[in-house]
Amino acid sequence: MRVRELAERLGLTFEGDGENEIEGAAELERAGGRELSFVAARKFWKLAEASAAGCLIVTMEFPSTGRSLIRAVEPRGAFAASLRILYKKASFKPGIHASTVIEEGVTLGIDVYVGPHTLLAAGARIGDRVQIHAGCAVGRNVAIGADSLLHPRVTIYEGVVIGERVILHSGAVIGADGFGFVPVDGAWQKFPQVGGVKIGDDVEIGANSCVDRAALGLTWIGDGVKLDNMVHIAHNCQIGDHVVIAAQTGLSGGVVVGNQAIIGGQVGIGDKARIESGAVLGSGCGILTSKIVRAGQPVWGTPARPLREYLEQLALVARLPQMKEELRQIQTIVQDLSERLGLPQQARGESDRSDE
């Protein structure tokens, strides 16, 4: 595709040679003459000047150099759109593989693709243009909205409702029982998990992630939510619209997450905690049970605390070796003064013990 054509598809302006052919994309350091790259910040300008990329998507402030450029207010977003244009996904001819098991009462929309060795259980409702790839299991009375995509070996339990344009990656499990047990006569007895799961539109759930059904009511995931690989959403969690959660994060039961919150990797969130809209949870932090993280607040550490406080404490910890040495010097001075002033041995002993 020529630079001119790509710019037109993106709705952006270009400069330089619009006839340059672009066949793919790569990082600035590795891009060749037929590849596209992008420059999102001023600190990468020197690297961009040395790049052999055939075309760069740059900010409006990037200096003109005579090379092929496409200017965008948000180069990263424009680059992502370019990748969707340059790398078209493999198309699948609609149809149902002969090895598919389809039980009674299943309804299929138009242009549905179902791959080999899949199960569509009784009462499942599959929307238009849905793709269900090899080895998936779709439980009874599950509803899957139009244009959704299930990669191989996705499991959806009974009664789950999935919106439109949802992407579920391999190994995702939606609607398994929540971790609910009650102690009875010294043993743990299962608390029946009779609720459901509802997932909004434009959601993407990563490989080997789990969204558990509610004990009662619904585990609910809003529109535009993006879950990374190996994320666990426990029973009765409520996740607002356009939340992003990075890998190896776990939410305990009843957690509420507000719209557009950002949760880093390896975060642990205790029961019934509330993460308000726009909050940012740094990687590896721990949110205590019933804790409230206020709207727009960035927090870090375990237990999680405001980022400024966390950084101040981190700086203090880094100074501990220096502070210890300073304390030893002060103790030496105090001991020397005590000896000169002829203070009793007991007073000097107390000073000595303070170093222990």
**What phi and psi values does residue 45 have, to the nearest 5 degrees?**
-60, -45
**Residue 152 CA, distance from chain mean position:** 21
Report the candidate in 76, 32, 30, 43 with the shortest Cα–Cα distance to residue 57: 76
Q: How far is CA 285 from CA 187, 207, 269, 307, in A?
A: 33, 22, 9, 11
CA 343 – CA 282 distance, rounded (Å): 53
Phi/psi-derived region of residue 208, left when phi > 0, alpha when psi is between -120 and 50, beta in every other case: left
**Beta pairing class for 107-108 and 95-96:** unpaired
Of 307, 210, 290, which is closest to residue 250 (Cα–Cα)?
Answer: 210
Active-site annotation holds for 235:
yes
Rounded to whole angstroms, how far apart are CA atoms 168 and 179?
Answer: 22
Catalytic one of 151, 169, 235, 242:
235
DSSP string, 171-197: T-EEEEPP--EEEETTEEEE-----EE
Cα–chain center distance at 160: 22
The residues that bridge with 245 in the sheet, in sequence order, are 227, 263
Active site residues: 235
